[in-house]
Amino acid sequence: MEKASGRVMAGIFLLSRLFLFILMPYSAFLGFGDQLNFYRLAQLPGWPFFHYWVEFPPFFPFLSAGLYRLAGGNEHIYCYLLAGLLTLFDAGTLLVFSRLLRVTISDGTTSLRLIIYTLFLGFFPYGWWYFDPISVFFLLLSLLFVFHNQSTRAGFAIAVGFLWKFFPILALIPAWMTLTRQKFLKVSLISVTGIAFVIGFLYFVSPQMTSSSLSAQYAKGSWQTVWALLDGNHGTGNFGPLTDRQDPSLAYQKTRNPSVIPPIIPLAVGGFAGLLLLRCVGRLSTPLVCAAVTGAAWGLLILAAPGWSPQWSLYIIPLILLALPIKQAVLFLVLLISLCLAEWPLLFSRGRDDLIWIVIVLRTVTTIGLGLVFSLKAAASGKMKSGFLKKN
């Protein structure tokens, strides 16, 4: 029955997204997302990491360049191809999410949580404005493999997810919490080897563009966080003209104020707090506890990171629905979605940069509260030896 409900909701989602795309005018379909930016980036001559630098891990830039060529350079075809592919990944995410619900939730609210997540994916525009749905899929798939004691598959899923966007590396936390040390080392070895092989190959062939691509996101300074407010940086995380991408030195060019507090300090504090939580919870934990700890780790990472992008909320929302009581989950979902949409597109697209600080402060407070709720949820059930997994 649970499997059927997951397939049914995925089918409903696909139909709703299809009708949405058909009914929306092209300008509304593009909205305030990054699809046109991706298209223009793919227009650059050559291939990413070889002939120009990008601010993303390698898999999406190569996919984008391939879709551009498949579309024959046609903007409309490219954008709809990308949105269609993201829609398929979202449908896959729903299937994985429905299976995760079966091993984390036992309070009779699994169907309600699945419906809420389906509605969110169906109509939240970040699902086709950006490419993060692909990475979200691999994050949840990694969790599913970990919870089912499939270390080899988990290692590959983490590696592939990381090469789309860095967040799936968080799945190593529940791997450490649930698997035997031998299997955790196996997961870590496979994921690190896979990542190192791809990055190493690109660096061997094109060291300058690869180094610039991997460094650009973090060399640009702070944006849209309390650290950015402290530094006096009030813009978004966007980069300069596309023509800059052909000069690897420009990836390191500072266009923002320098950090008042070096980023390594909040990251170190956040890492230390995460280690304390892991020590409190312990190993051999239940999937519910693992989901809560992963959510807490995401919160610490976001609080410590110098930058923020609203589409990153896509990663935490399924964790909220997997770990928290339904009323708390709905409350945090409404808060996060409202704040994300208020930030982008509402304020930034209307030139109200002067009001962004309000959203940043409210989002930071919400993230702190969410992290505390996740941590308390995990700590309350800490050190539980559920016997969920066979230890061998």
Is 390 within a domain? no
Q: Are 37 and 130 in contact (CB under 8 A)?
A: no
- What was the pLDDT predicted at 217? 85
Is 385 within a domain? no
The predicted model scores a pTM of 0.94
Is 387 within a domain? no
Q: Which residues pair with 52 in a beta bridge?
A: 48
Q: What is the pLDDT of residues 320-340, one digit of tens each?
A: 999 999 999 999 999 999 999
pLDDT at 385 over 60: no
Report which residue type is found at 20: L
Report residue 79 as tokens: 């954008």
Q: Are 277 and 375 in contact (CB under 8 A)?
A: yes
- Distance between CA atoms of 194 and 191, rounded to whole angstroms? 5
Per-residue pLDDT band for 306 (boundaries 50, 70, 90) equals very high
pLDDT at 252 over 80: yes
pLDDT at 352 over 50: yes
- What was the pLDDT predicted at 379? 81
- What was the pLDDT predicted at 386? 42
| Nearest Cα residue to 378 out of 285, 301, 315, 309 | 285
- What was the pLDDT predicted at 284? 72
Q: What is the pLDDT of residues 10-33, one digit of tens each?
A: 999 999 999 999 999 999 999 999
Q: What is the pLDDT of residues 157-191, one digit of tens each?
A: 999 999 999 999 999 999 999 999 999 999 999 99
Angle at 154 between CA 148 and CA 160, to 5 degrees: 150
- What was the pLDDT predicted at 4? 47
Is 304 within a domain? yes
Q: Which residues contact 63 (CB under 8 A, 6 or more apart)?
A: 85, 131
Supply the mean pLDDT for the chain.
92
Q: Which residues pair with 48 in a beta bridge?
A: 52
Per-residue pLDDT band for 2 (boundaries 50, 70, 90) equals very low
In this structure, the number of other CB atoms found within 10 A of the CB of residue 252 comes to 12
In this structure, the number of other CB atoms found within 10 A of the CB of residue 272 comes to 11
Q: Which of 25-39, 140-154, 212-226, 358-372 has the lowest mean pLDDT?
A: 212-226
Average pLDDT in the 69-94 region?
Answer: 98
- What was the pLDDT predicted at 318? 98
Average pLDDT in the 96-125 region?
Answer: 94
Is 224 within a domain? yes
Average pLDDT in the 134-150 region?
Answer: 97
Average pLDDT in the 50-61 region?
Answer: 96
- Distance between CA atoms of 63 and 351, rounded to whole angstroms? 32
Average pLDDT in the 191-204 region?
Answer: 98
Is 238 within a domain? yes
pLDDT at 271 over 50: yes
- What was the pLDDT predicted at 84? 97
Q: Which residues contact 190 (CB under 8 A, 6 or more apart)?
A: 151, 152, 155, 156, 158, 159
| Nearest Cα residue to 52 out of 327, 289, 296, 239 | 239
- What was the pLDDT predicted at 152? 97
- What was the pLDDT predicted at 382? 56
Q: Looking only at Cα atoms, what is the longest distance across the chain?
A: 58
Average pLDDT in the 86-111 region?
Answer: 95
Is 215 within a domain? yes
Provide the number of structural domains found in the chain: 1
- Distance between CA atoms of 209 and 140, rounded to whole angstroms? 31
Angle at 108 between CA 148 and CA 125, to 5 degrees: 75
Is 142 within a domain? yes
Write out the residue range of the structural domain in which residue 320 sits: 2-380
- What was the pLDDT predicted at 387? 40
